[in-house]
């Protein structure tokens, strides 16, 4: 349910409302808008109607309305305005397009620092790099682990870019949180509810990637696991889904961008690298994504893609990345965004 407060409601009223909401067994999330404060109460209590009536009578409450969508806190019903949040020195969501760039995996100090310098110079706003890699085969490079986190942090600090990196397991969460500004939840873990709940309890911004066979409505409910635990700093990432098509690694679901933008206030990031699997297709799908309303791009950039330890074939060289950013800027400006 959504509890809309009167503009005259006091701090004390708000505290009492939250107290009652929790007493009835719901989780409370407060959103302070420009003119109004609202409280989202989520839970599956049998006596919901009765609770709504009781809450409606509390001082400072203007009205109480049910949220009809299955995804509650992520829905536009709960919050109509687009969300944005800080990640280090940048903001994800809002007018300016986020550019996440970097190698699939951190491979060495030289590799990550060279790439960090190149992507920063071209306009990236967040540096990416995997230290714990979810590889299809257990016999391929699994990432550098903590050493990779250290190198990514150092490279990010050197070029003054916040960093995003993937966590694979609840076990590694505290370690990854020590180093990173934003946590990536990969496609393979999109529906790992134990991991989602644990990350929901942390206060790190999250980049949640769509599972390769996760429908849009399921994806929104995956995000809801994070929101329901109190972490509202979540961006959703379309990265392609499995279809019958084999000419590309995945089928980038361009539809997902306007559909998600309609259904949720959370920022939407497009990953045309995993979405296509081939560097030649990355830029065109990046342009299409911005035109379709994405709030940002996540792309893989490598200085020597031919010897990359993972995903070299879908990685842009720095020069191509620069062209991609410059052309993306033209599209962003054409639709009233900034880059």
Which entry of ligand PEP, Mn ion, none binds 187, CB below 5 to 8 A by partner kind?
A: ligand PEP
Rule CB under 5 A: is residue 29 a binding residue for Mn ion? no
Size of the site for ligand PEP (CB under 6 A): 9
15: which residues sit within 8 A by CB, 6+ positions away? Answer: none
Interface segment toward ligand PEP; rule CB under 6 A; list 67-75, 86-94, 180-188, 255-263? 180-188
How far are the Cα atoms of 40, 68, 188 from residue 71, in angstroms, in the given order?
12, 9, 21
Question: By CB neighbour count within 10 A (0-12 exposed, 13-18 middle, 19+ buried), where does 225 fall?
Answer: buried
If one asks whether residue 271 binds Mn ion (CB under 5 A), the answer comes out as: no
Kindly write out the interface string for residues 220-239 of this chain, putting x where it contacts ligand PEP by CB under 6 A and - elsewhere.
-------------------x
Closer to ligand PEP by CB, 20 or 105: give it. Answer: 105
Residue 189 is given by DSSP the state G
CB of 313 to ligand PEP, least distance (A): 13
DSSP-assigned letters across all residues of 292-303? HT-SEEEEEB-S
Range in contact with ligand PEP (rule: CB under 6 A) among 53-61, 108-116, 184-192, 196-204? 184-192
Beta bridge partners of 235: 207
Sheet with 2-5: list strands edge to edge. Answer: 27-32, 37-42, 2-5, 61-65
Binding residue for Mn ion, selected from 1, 41, 104, 168, defined by CB under 5 A:
104
Burial 280-306 (b: 16+ CB within 10 A, else e): ebbbebbbbbbebebbbbbbbbbbebe
186 binds, among ligand PEP, Mn ion, none (CB under 5 to 8 A by kind): ligand PEP
- Does residue 209 bind ligand PEP (CB under 6 A)? yes
Choice between 133 and 153, CB closer to Mn ion: 133
What three-state secondary structure class fits 318?
A: helix
CB atoms within 10 A of CB 15: 11
Q: Is 296 in the site for ligand PEP (CB under 6 A)?
A: no
Nearer to ligand PEP, 104 or 127 (CB): 104
Site membership for ligand PEP, residue 186 (CB under 6 A): yes
d(CA 66, CA 270): 32
Residues 124-153 that bind ligand PEP (CB under 6 A): 130, 134
Residues in contact with Mn ion by CB under 5 A are: 104, 311
Residues in contact with ligand PEP by CB under 6 A are: 104, 130, 134, 186-188, 209, 239, 274
């Amino acid at each position: 349910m959504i509890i809309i407060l009167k503009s005259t409601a006091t701090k004390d009223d708000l505290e009492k409302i939250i107290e009652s909401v929790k007493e009835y067994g719901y989780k409370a999330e407060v959103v302070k808008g420009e003119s109004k404060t609202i409280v989202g109460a989520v839970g599956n209590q049998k006596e919901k109607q009765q609770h709504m009536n009781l809450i409606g009578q509390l001082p400072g409450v203007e009205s109480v309305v049910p949220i009809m969508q299955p995804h509650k806190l992520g829905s536009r019903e709960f919050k109509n305005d687009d969300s944005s949040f800080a990640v280090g020195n940048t903001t994800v969501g809002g007018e300016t397009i986020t550019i996440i760039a970097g190698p699939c995996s951190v491979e060495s100090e030289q590799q990550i620092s060279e790439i960090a310098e190149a992507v920063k110079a071209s306009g990236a706003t967040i540096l990416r790099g995997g230290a714990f890699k979810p590889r299809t085969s257990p016999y391929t490079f699994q990432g550098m682990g903590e050493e990779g986190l250290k190198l990514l942090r150092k490279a990010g600090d050197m070029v003054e870019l916040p960093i995003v990196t993937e966590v694979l397991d609840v076990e590694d969460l505290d370690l990854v949180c020590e180093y990173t500004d934003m946590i990536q939840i990969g496609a393979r873990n999109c529906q790992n509810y134990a991991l989602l709940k644990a990350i929901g309890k942390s206060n790190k911004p999250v980049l949640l990637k769509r599972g390769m066979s996760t429908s849009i409505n399921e994806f929104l409910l995956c995000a809801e696991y994070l929101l329901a635990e109190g972490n509202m700093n979540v961006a959703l990432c379309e990265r392609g889904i499995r279809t019958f098509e084999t000419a590309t690694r995945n089928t980038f679901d361009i539809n997902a961008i306007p559909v998600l933008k309609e259904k949720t206030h959370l920022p939407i990031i497009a990953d045309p690298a995993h979405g296509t699997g081939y560097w030649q297709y990355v830029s065109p799908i990046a342009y299409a994504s911005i035109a379709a309303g994405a709030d940002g791009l996540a792309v893989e950039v490598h200085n020597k893609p031919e010897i990359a330890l993972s995903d070299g074939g879908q990685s842009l060289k720095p020069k191509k990345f620069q062209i991609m950013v410059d052309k993306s800027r033209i599209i962003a400006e054409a639709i009233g965004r900034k880059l």
